[in-house]
Structure 1
Amino acid sequence: MTHTARHRMLAGTAAGLLAASLGVAVASTATAAPRTGATSACTISTLPYPTDTYRADASVIDPSGRFVAGTALRIREDGNQYLLLTWDGQQLTETEAPGNGIDPVDVNESGIVIGNGWAENGIGRPWTYRAGKLEQLPVLPSTGIFVSAINKAGDIVGYGSDIVPGEFVALRWPAARPGTVEVLDAPLNAQPVGISPNGTIVGYAGPFGDWTSWVRRPNGKIKPLAVTGGGSTSLNAAAGHWAVGQAWLDGTSPAKVRWDVRDGSYTFLDQEMGLDDVNAKGVVVGGDRVARGSTSRVLPGSGERINIGARAISDTGTIVGFRNADRVTPVRWTGC
């Protein structure tokens, strides 16, 4: 499970041109595995959270469904206090976050959480949370560095702005070399959104509004993710051999797409879907919906003046997000 997530973090202005033409992807259809066996009841429950906070939500879940991370805001007389919330099953840990906010973007099977924060000068600064400690990742001189995904091995990917003046540069923090960060060989203005267990990286690149999605194999070979007759494409999230994003077929309204990164084949998704996350089985969540195959269903928990939002999904099918019923609270869906 990687998301980005997480696209809300990666959205921004990109400048420049692709380093080279990426070609045209396979135009056949890839279908996510359907649910098999008896269908269980889809239920929503509230995760434990600090009751003295103004708001709290759940943002990410690891592929096994054990570890969850989110945020909370505690309002004090001397100023706001941002909290990182982490759950191991039902056990909650709260950690005070320095600065003006904190944004967890992924967590792996070892419970290592990664995310983004901001230095006092407003420059983006990424961090990790493991074994109860919140630590900053090493960075390069830039006007902002952000992380987007971590895999089972602990390899992290992200991007930085103005490491090369006027450009975005793809970055990797290799687990095998702790305390280091390296610039990836990737298309110009590349923004990775996911990294698989074997080190395959997916992302998008190019000037704002004219993006091209791509997949980078462990051997460094790069291929495009596109749609037949499509123009610009961008990605929101990736897991296993699946990636989800948009394709601007007519230059105006983007189509929702799920790609199989093994061969570039793809499926169009329900246009009502949000694209917050996808799991290794190709199940997509976003907004108030979950999609298996090309159809979607509304998740339970919403109502008159009650909003819900699905943020992330594990490979076991557990979904986490928020419910806003006069107060934003962290929730979990199962059996959906």
Structure 2
Amino acid sequence: MKRSTRRRMIAGAATTALLVTSLGVAVSGPASAAPAGAAARTCTISTLPYPTDTYRADANVIDPTGRYIAGTALRVGEVDNQYLLLFWDGQQVTEVEVPGMADPVDVNADGVVIGNGSALGTGIGQPWVYRDGTIKQLPVLPSTGIFVSAINDAGDIVGYGSDIVPGEYSALRWPAARPGTVEVLKAPANAEASGITDNGTIVGSAGPFGDWNSWVRRPNGRIDALTFPGADWSTASAAAGRWAIGLVGLDDTGASKVRWDLRNGSHTLLDQEIPALTDVNAKGVVVGGDRVGRGSTSRVLPGGAEGVAVGARSISDTGTIVGFRNVLADRVTPVRWTGC
């Protein structure tokens, strides 16, 4: 799986000296029926439990089984704001205070969460891992910033670093078989790794700004291009099962959303009504903005209205989707969609 975007530099902070508190906030929020003419399944939205004294809370990622979710929250103080990480196990949420912004980017079926922040005092990108109730910093290489993108069920983590090779990005892997280590992957020059599947297949993008090309690294180390006819450029941003998603630059339409079949490199254009691609599951279902897409079609997720925005961030293999609901002039809350 994977949850990040090309060339996105995330400001944040995470340390091991964190206060962990278990909460028991009740779930609230009405459910909405699927739009008229939709498939027979009933698509509903509900609010995830969250600390009620926070100004905003968001659900960023969900694991493939649909059990574990991770997100963020902001508690506004009289002097300073308090940033929180939120970790859900079913209906129970745990809040973790952090000294600055931190961003969860993926979670696996064991509930291991990875995310990005910044080293205190330097602002340099520093990734972290949350496991068994504890946050620890991941090992890094000398660079101007290290970022993680995805973790698979084996615990292998991929990401990228800047200026490990001067003036370039380097694809990185934190192998579960060698805890406490990080390695530069054999990949195209100026590469970022953005997704990893459970069998160890890695996808990413490479090349100078605006002239990117997508690639896939097989478990045996072989690297193949992910191509699209007539595309001037391409980026691969997520992977799960046999699927990868991303963008391709076509002269007549600009940036088009695409899904690749990693078995043979074949490709399908996705419904361009999807505002942005944020995740794909092992069944090839994609989410982004206020839509979920299957095949070449998509549908609007319930919960939005005039003055109310919703955004889907992550989808499990069971089809559960998480994200946020923003009631303008009120607050942002974490939500979950089922049956969509």
TM score, norm. by length of structure 1: 0.89
1:251 CA displacement: 7.4
Contact map agreement 1:56 1:328 (CA 8 A) in 2 = yes
Q: Quick one: which of 303, 309, 312 aligns to 1:301?
A: 303
User: Match of 1:103?
Assistant: 103
1:193 CA displacement: 1.0
Written as runs of structure 1 = structure 2, the 5 A alignment for 1:170-189 is 170-189=171-190
1:112 aligns with 2:112: yes
User: Match of 2:29?
Assistant: none
Written as runs of structure 1 = structure 2, the 5 A alignment for 1:242-281 is 242-250=243-251, 253-273=254-274, 274-281=276-283
1:327 aligns with 2:312: no
- Taking structure 1 as reference, are residues 79 and 314 closer, same or farther at Cα in structure 2, changes over 3 Å only? same
Q: Deviations over 1:143-196 (max 9, x none)?
A: 000000000010000000011111101110011111111110011111111111
User: Match of 2:210?
Assistant: 209
Q: Deviations over 1:189-208 (max 9, x none)?
A: 11111111111100111001
TM score, norm. by length of structure 2: 0.88
- Counterparts of 1:137 and 1:252 in 2: how far apart (Å)? 40
1:91 partner amino acid = Q
Written as runs of structure 1 = structure 2, the 5 A alignment for 1:309-320 is 309-320=311-322
1:252 CA displacement: 6.6
User: Match of 2:136?
Assistant: 135
- Taking structure 1 as reference, are residues 161 and 293 closer, same or farther at Cα in structure 2, changes over 3 Å only? same
The runs of at least 4 aligned residues of structure 1 exceeding 4 Å deviation read none
- Counterparts of 2:123 and 2:281 in 1: how far apart (Å)? 33
1:288 partner amino acid = D
More relative contact order in 1 or in 2 (CA 8 Å, sep 6+)?
A: 1
- Counterparts of 2:195 and 2:73 in 1: how far apart (Å)? 25
Q: Which runs of 5+ in 1 are unaligned?
A: 13-37
- Counterparts of 1:39 and 1:122 in 2: how far apart (Å)? 49
- Counterparts of 2:136 and 2:228 in 1: how far apart (Å)? 40
- Counterparts of 1:170 and 1:59 in 2: how far apart (Å)? 23
1:80 CA displacement: 1.4
Written as runs of structure 1 = structure 2, the 5 A alignment for 1:6-21 is 6-7=4-5, 10-11=7-8
Of stretches 230-239 and 152-161 in structure 1, the one that deviates more from structure 2 is: 230-239
1:39 CA displacement: 3.2
Identity %: 71
Contact map agreement 1:39 1:335 (CA 8 A) in 2 = no
The alignment's C-alpha RMSD in Å is: 1.2
User: Match of 1:32?
Assistant: none
Of stretches 191-200 and 145-154 in structure 1, the one that deviates more from structure 2 is: 191-200
1:40 CA displacement: 2.3
1:219 CA displacement: 1.0
